Amino acid sequence: MKKVLSYILAPIAAFISVTSCVENDLPYPVVVPVIEKIEVDGALSVNIDQMNCVVNVELTEQADIRRVNVRSITFKDSLTTMSPSITGEQDLSSRKHFVLHTYADYHWNMVGEQKIERYFNVSGQVGEAVIDDVNRRVIAYVTKKTDLKKIKVLSVKLGAEGVSEYSEDLMQRTDFSDMVELYVTTHGIREAWHIFIERKDVQMEFKTLVPWTRVVWMAADGVAGENNGFCYREAGTEWWSEVPQSLIVQEGGSFTCCLDGLDPETEYECYAYSGSLQSDVRSFVTEAELQLPNAGFEVYSNAESPNFKSWYDPSGTYASEKWWDSGNVGSTAVGASGVICSPDNETFTQGATSARLNSRYVVVKFAAGNLFSGEFAGLVGTSGGKVNFGRPFTLRPRKLTLMLKYDCGKIDNVGEYPAGDPVAKGDPDRCQVFVALGDWDYKKYGGSKECPVQVNTTQKETLFNPKSEAVIAYGSYVSSETVPEWTKIEIPLEYNAVDRKPTHIIVSCAASMLGDYFTGSSSSVLWLDDMILEY
């Protein structure tokens, strides 16, 4: 009976285990300290990474990273103590170590991060200045004929906005025939910057050309102050079209654009210009425009199990082309009454069905209604199961749209929850739909070639991480309120890089966002229909 009950676990539930941080093998009760909240003055964000025992603090430009005031820290239980204390003024210019004590010692670190925008632009500049903030060097390039004793500095910022002082006003200097040493003082720390201006033979260079399906990203180096831009046309046509200047982004002599409105799978030609200079003509072909298979949730059968229905790619066979999966394999181990994902006649379109995701309490465990691109990968003894996320996909859509309804219940099951996101019974549940594009290597992320990202329900560290280095783009929709009528939802994708090509796509939907932690409402129901990728 114990083995049967273990099969009802939702496929993405996590058993919290942080043994990597512990160094005490005495047979005391296991009470893992959980940091619920940390308040830090001057912080843009505070990310509590319970898995790796790290607190990442992102600071504003103006904050003094050597004197950061940590106002308070809140733990989940009163048993937890800390040494040394990290409240009060802290120097986060280097890693700050502390220990949390329960019945064992858990070693943590607090890390400060601070991004400072830096730029240096002069008249007649070729391309963008190279700024090395580690060695504090700046190199700007100008045309071959430029007199280095008659340079005009257009803009400069090498320190934090509003709190840095400069030893010299470079806007008043014209002679850059030799290296210029500039001292920048911020919060009492004086740093020497070395500035070089050099002549460059090449004045016009097409740097980057990255076509997607309906957009192309272009970048070039020209001369600052000149009329800089791009022209394009469909291959085989006579007339060139100029990219509107409103789409051109300039930084010094470097300029970029994202040109929209192109046709899929079409060949185009383009060139960059800077004043009277013009680059060679370049050609490119836009990518295809494809949709997720069975995204209207119309094709399904009982081929996998008599207890529940599964969705398939209608272009393939039931036996080999299943694209979507859910937690039904685990939740129906005790019978068909445990179904948490099913077709439903509550549909937005003229089609027959939508997908209905219903969270429920199954015998002794909470199971969140869920649906995802991927496959159930098997059981882990009697403790849980494994799920492989992702399906092959190499295109770069700009957003996912879908039709959605949601009955939001009150949380009546609290197992665990992520650090920094405490919930209690009676709080509103939350649904979530997220989409991610990435180049995950299944050998590193544990899945299969087809579905490369494996989540093991007994290992919390395997939960999907949207900040993984393999993630190229990510977007998420979350609602803590009932959505009573069919509503169109748009989920824009934020790309970490425009020139990386994905290998797989993950789409994951849940009626209870914290179902991974056995937390949510047994009355929450999420309906989905008509998913569309927009390019």
Q: Please state, rounded to an integer, the average pLDDT across all residues of the chain.
A: 90
- Tens-digit pLDDT profile for residues 416-435: 887 778 889 999 999 999 99
What does the pLDDT average to over 317-346? 82
Q: What whole-number percentage of the chain has pLDDT above 70? A: 92
Give the span between the Cα atoms of 246 and 258, in whole angstroms.
11
Question: For residue 129, what are the contacts with CB-CB under 8 A and spacing of at least 6?
Answer: 119, 120, 121, 138, 139, 140, 141, 252
Q: What integer pLDDT is reported at residue 319 of this predicted model?
A: 43
pLDDT at 57 over 80: yes
pLDDT score recorded for residue 367:
86
What is the full DSSP assignment across 169-210?
-GGG----SS-EEEEEEETTEEEEEEEEEEEES---EEEEEE
Q: Which helix (H) or strand (E) holds 4?
A: helix 2-6
Residue 10 has pLDDT above 50, yes or no: no
The residue ranking higher by pLDDT, 521 or 331, is 521
Tell which wins on pLDDT, 250 or 517. Answer: 250
d(CA 506, CA 434): 8
Q: How confident is the model at residue 21 (pLDDT cuts 50, 70, 90)?
A: low
**Is 70 exceeded by the pLDDT of residue 12?**
no
> In the structure, what pLDDT confidence band is assigned to residue 462 with cuts at 50, 70 and 90?
confident
Write down the pLDDT at residue 218: 98
pLDDT at site 320: 53
Mean pLDDT value across residues 161-188: 97
Question: What's residue 6's pLDDT?
Answer: 37
Kindly tell me if the per-residue pLDDT of 20 is higher than 60. no
More confident residue, 16 or 178: 178
Per-residue pLDDT of 220-248, as tens digits, reads: 999 999 999 999 999 999 999 999 999 99
Mean pLDDT, rounded, for 479-507: 97
Task: Summarize the confidence of residues 32-58 as an average pLDDT.
Answer: 90
Which has the minimum average pLDDT: 29-38, 208-217, 406-415?
29-38
Name the band, by pLDDT with cuts 50, 70 and 90, for residue 102.
very high
Q: Which of 51, 86, 91, 52 is nearest to 68 (CA)?
A: 91
pLDDT tens track for 147-164: 999 999 999 999 999 999
* pLDDT at residue 420, as a whole number: 72
* Per-residue pLDDT, 509: 97
What's the pLDDT score for residue 379?
67
pLDDT band at residue 25 using 50, 70 and 90 as cut-offs? low
Report whether 74 contacts 19 (CB < 8 A).
Answer: no
Burial class (CB in 10 A: 0-12, 13-18, 19+), 341: buried
Tell how strand 254-259 and strand 249-251 pair up: antiparallel
Residue type, 32: V
Q: Distance between CA atoms of 456 and 378, rounded to whole angstroms?
A: 10
Indicate if the pLDDT at residue 11 is higher than 90. Answer: no
Instruction: Please say if the pLDDT value at position 16 is more than 50.
Output: no
Q: Provide the pLDDT for residue 318.
A: 44
Tens-place pLDDT, residues 381-412: 656 668 899 999 999 999 999 999 999 999 99
Question: Span 358-363, mean pLDDT?
Answer: 86
CA distance 453 to 236: 43
Task: Please give the Cα distance from 228 to 125 (Å, whole number).
Answer: 12
* Arithmetic mean of pLDDT, 454-473: 85
Q: Give the model confidence (pLDDT) of 523-535 as tens digits.
A: 999 999 999 999 9
Between CA 267 and CA 284 the distance in angstroms is 6
Chain segment 279-319, per-residue pLDDT in tens: 999 999 999 999 999 999 999 999 889 999 998 887 765 44
Q: Which helix (H) or strand (E) holds 275?
A: none
Phi, psi at 9, each rounded to 5° = -60, 135
Q: How confident is the model at residue 15 (pLDDT cuts 50, 70, 90)?
A: very low
| Residue 121 confidence (pLDDT) above 80 | yes
Measured in degrees and rounded to the nearest 5, phi and psi for residue 172 equal -95, -10
